[in-house]
Structure 1
Amino acid sequence: MPAPWLPRSLAVRVTLLCGLIAVSITGMLGGNYFFAARSAILAHADEQLITRVERLRRLLADVRSVQELRDQAMLLEALSGSSGDVFVLRRAGEAPLVEVNPGQVAPPACAVPTALDRPLARGDVCHSEAPGIPRMHWAAGVARAGHDGRMVEVLAGHALASEMQMIRRSRDQVLFSTFLAVLACSLLVYGVLRRGLRPLHRVAEQASRIDPVNLAIRLPEHDAPLELQQMVAVFNAMLDRIATGYGRLSQFSADLAHEIRTPVGALIGQTQVALARTRTAEEYQQVLESNLEELNRLRRTVDNILFLAQADHATLQVERTALDMAAELQRIADYFEGPADEAGLRLVVQASGTAWVNQALCLRALHNLVVNAVRYSTPGTVIQLTGIQEDGASVLAVENEGVPIPAEQLTRLFDRFYRAEAVRSRPAESSGLGLAIVKAIMDLHGGEARASCSASGAVRFELRFPR
């Protein structure tokens, strides 16, 4: 489940994600640039400070007197980089010989003078910070005065006012550039996504036209992005299944109305005829008996439909027990011996082994198959009842000789209310639900119902129960 704070628009989500990526990348690049620029500015300031101290050390070696050194104060002040720079010349433990310190900044303790024989390096530079005073870098070294040869400490401090201003400008420029980069990236990504999602909008527009009247409409696979083509293909396949199921449902509704209308029409017609004039008790009894037959037919149709509805929504496994195929098929053959003799048919049983089935449902399926065989067999032929075990399954089969059934109709024999063309015109009491019930029973068992027919009209129905 997505977080409730996330926007519902996919384009906005991706735009925000790309914006975060842009912030990360430009932030890292900008931060790298900023710290590199900051380090370069501070290094340049330190180099300038070291250069000034070294110049002062060389200058002290050339002066002839302290007075001359004081006279060079204007020159020392001119060497300073800014108005806040500090220059101090002093002997250890004495007052400064020369001091240029406009802000009266106290030198920090970290400004330790380097030895006379060693040049200053960046590691000798220290810094100090105080409220109201810009950050200052300090460098100090020992020099030998030319007039008397005594050691003099040279101390220089540089106020980083201009450098810090440059650093702040670099920081602001990096932040502004990052903001512009993120904004431009977000706008470009959003625009590209809006354009890239147009095929998805067309797919949605096409899907909005699909309704029960226009189930033949399919989503355009060629126009969908590569990442959505599989989804569109699956959706179209789902629409095919829905269209097939809806078509079967429509046909089922029409056939159901037809099947119910026939007995209801017969009931109404017979009742109207009976009421047209006064009848004798025997005539009324005949009408009631005829109406009872139609009502029983109607009840059987309703019972079959209810069974199929329950089978379609079954969620529990059926209970199974061992079934002796030879014994049960023989009982069925004995039961149908009378109707078979009347139709000029003979039943033959050839079976062995057991099947793991729900006996009540299995016998009902076999009963429907045998009724179907007796009803549509050619007189003078044999109905074969077979029970064998093969390929990890128990197979019960009913085979009879009748009118050849085309191959394209065999797959539809198990549809509800469907009758093959070869038998549709023959009068029968069937409602067209017998084979549909057989298939539903096999589905409950996780098995399979098959139908085949040879060119000579040998029709074979197989029930394959998994072991």
Structure 2
Amino acid sequence: MKNWLKNFSLTTRLSIAFSAICCIVFVSIGLLSYHNMQQLLAKQLDQNLIARVERIEIFLQDQESFQILIKHPSLYENMLGKEDNLLILKNQQQSLIEINPLKVHIPNTTESKTITFLNNQSKFATTRLAYKTVVFNDQHYQLIAGTQLDEAQSILDQYLWKLILYSLLGIVMASLLGRWVGLYLLKSLNNLIEQTYKIQGTQLHQRIEDKSTTVEVEQLRAAMNAMLEKIQINYDQLARFSEDIAHELRTPLNNLMGQTQIMLMQSRPKQELEQLLYSHLEEYERLSKMIDNMLFIARSESRDYILEKEHIDLSHLILELIDYFEFLAEDRQMSFVLQLEKELQIYGNADLLKRALSNLIINALDYGLKDHDIVISTKSIENAVEIEILTTNIFIDQQHLNHLFERFYQIDSSRHSKAKTGGLGLSIVKSIMMLHNGEANVYNSHRGVVFSLRINI
């Protein structure tokens, strides 16, 4: 059934569903109406028989009328007027009146002080009977009246055919109306589909402008425009990333080729060749570092990346990093100022967190000023821990702050400072924070630029 419906449009499916519902409703109403009509005719038939029995009782109360009816039963038969009607009056010895032109079989009846109904036979009944025991002149008489069921059945048959005809007509009209309504309601959806088809991969700036009066379609239009906005942003980032990576790879490759070509122009002493190899080795290490960083970022963005976590003493982790970078800071005439809360515990991967903090510390050492401090502080906020690294008296223009964590983003044209991280240091920090369901931010304070890491406890 599902495979069969796949071949039809949504409008056709709605029409089929609406037609099926109409069929169920009309058939249910038709069956209920037929059943009510059947009960109504049966009740009316029984009421006619009751009136006939009561009429005979009135005759029996008059001795003269009773004698005339017994002597001339044809009079009552003429009064009935229909050949299919039935009237029997009998006592225990004989039948006094027997009007039964169709020779209907009369089943055995018992005494009953009230009017009792029964059919002439249990299956395929043809006559409806009503009988009652009446007392006249201290004698018990059995009074039986009956009428044929053919007329009622004929009315029911005619009513059934009309029900079928009207139901079919109603189903057809409801189906056509349902398809028209479906086409009208889905018109805005079809317009949305047409506009979506017009948007090409090279025209991601286009948006679906035509608004719909249907709430659901309007919500879909807004969602699709939001999706296009995200796709455009990601597309622009990918294009910029492709340009940056091409530039980053081209620079060391050009250096390698240029140096090699110069060396090949003439014979060189062994010492120059060794220096060339060392220079090449540095470029190779830079390329290798860049590729490793790119692979790490790609893996971290994958949903299948499995991160091993443990409980970590944050203060102890930071002190280990300070011991490692302290000599480099002294060499650059800079110093670390620590403002660490004690006994702060976080749940994460120690190696990755060290890598993120190392990248930020290296960034602070590269861009920091001599005789200035690098302030590292930690504090607990609600259900999170915040780590801040302040580079004093260094400020970044507001236009750059929102792009610092993008891959290969640079503030100035110089790229020499990216050699240690391949231009991906801050992007790696952001990826590590995403793996820990945390955040990486940067802002300017009154003392300098602050890189902030927020990790949920």
TM-score range, shorter chain: 0.7 to 0.9
Give identity over the alignment, percent. Answer: 28
Local SS of the residue matching 1:217 = coil
Please tell me the residue identity of whatever aligns with 1:7. L
Change (3 A) 1:175 1:112: farther
Change (3 A) 1:150 1:257: closer
Whether contact under 8 Å (1:369, 1:435) holds in the other structure is yes
Give the distance between the partners of 1:246 and 1:227, measured in 2 at CA.
28
Deviations 1:219-246 (A, max 9, x none): 4573162134334433432332222222
Which position in structure 2 is the counterpart of 1:138?
130
Which position in structure 2 is the counterpart of 1:93?
93
Which position in structure 2 is the counterpart of 1:118?
none
Please tell me the residue identity of whatever aligns with 1:110. T
Which position in structure 2 is the counterpart of 1:278?
267
Local SS of the residue matching 2:441 = strand
Local SS of the residue matching 2:120 = strand
Give the distance between the partners of 2:435 and 2:124, measured in 1 at CA.
90
**2:399 maps to 1:408:** yes
Which position in structure 1 is the counterpart of 2:40?
40
Unaligned runs of 5+ in 2: none
Local SS of the residue matching 1:82 = coil
**2:75 maps to 1:75:** yes
CA-CA distance at 1:418 after TM superposition: 0.2
**2:359 maps to 1:350:** no
Which position in structure 1 is the counterpart of 2:280?
291
Question: Where in structure 2 are the equivalents of 1:24-423 lying within 5 Å?
Answer: 24-59=24-59, 61=62, 63=64, 69=69, 72-80=72-80, 82-94=82-94, 96-110=95-109, 112=111, 123-129=115-121, 134-140=126-132, 142=134, 154-220=143-209, 222-223=211-212, 225-313=214-302, 314-323=305-314, 324=316, 327-337=319-329, 339-340=331-332, 345-352=333-340, 353=342, 356=346, 358-378=349-369, 380-391=370-381, 392-402=384-394, 404-420=395-411, 423=412
Whether contact under 8 Å (1:333, 1:349) holds in the other structure is no
Please tell me the residue identity of whatever aligns with 2:167. T
Change (3 A) 1:65 1:318: closer
Unaligned runs of 5+ in 1: 115-120
CA-CA distance at 1:382 after TM superposition: 0.8
Give the distance between the partners of 1:39 and 1:326, measured in 2 at CA.
91
Whether contact under 8 Å (2:133, 2:140) holds in the other structure is no
Deviations 1:186-231 (A, max 9, x none): 3322321222112122222333334432222334573162134334
Give the distance between the partners of 2:406 and 2:317, measured in 1 at CA.
27
CA-CA distance at 1:51 after TM superposition: 3.6
Give the distance between the partners of 1:207 and 1:258, measured in 2 at CA.
35
CA-CA distance at 1:65 after TM superposition: 9.5
Whether contact under 8 Å (1:137, 1:160) holds in the other structure is no
TM-score (norm 1): 0.81
Give the distance between the partners of 1:157 and 1:305, measured in 2 at CA.
100
Give the distance between the partners of 1:29 and 1:205, measured in 2 at CA.
42
Change (3 A) 1:299 1:156: closer
Change (3 A) 1:79 1:139: farther
Whether contact under 8 Å (1:49, 1:139) holds in the other structure is no
Between stretches 201-210 and 292-301, larger displacement belongs to 201-210
Which position in structure 1 is the counterpart of 2:451?
461
Local SS of the residue matching 1:415 = coil
Deviations 1:29-58 (A, max 9, x none): 444433443333333333333444444455
Deviations 1:102-126 (A, max 9, x none): 2222322237575xxxxxx7x4343
Local SS of the residue matching 2:103 = coil
Whether contact under 8 Å (2:360, 2:451) holds in the other structure is yes
Change (3 A) 1:388 1:445: same
Please tell me the residue identity of whatever aligns with 1:164. Q
Please tell me the residue identity of whatever aligns with 2:105. A
Q: How many pairs align?
A: 444
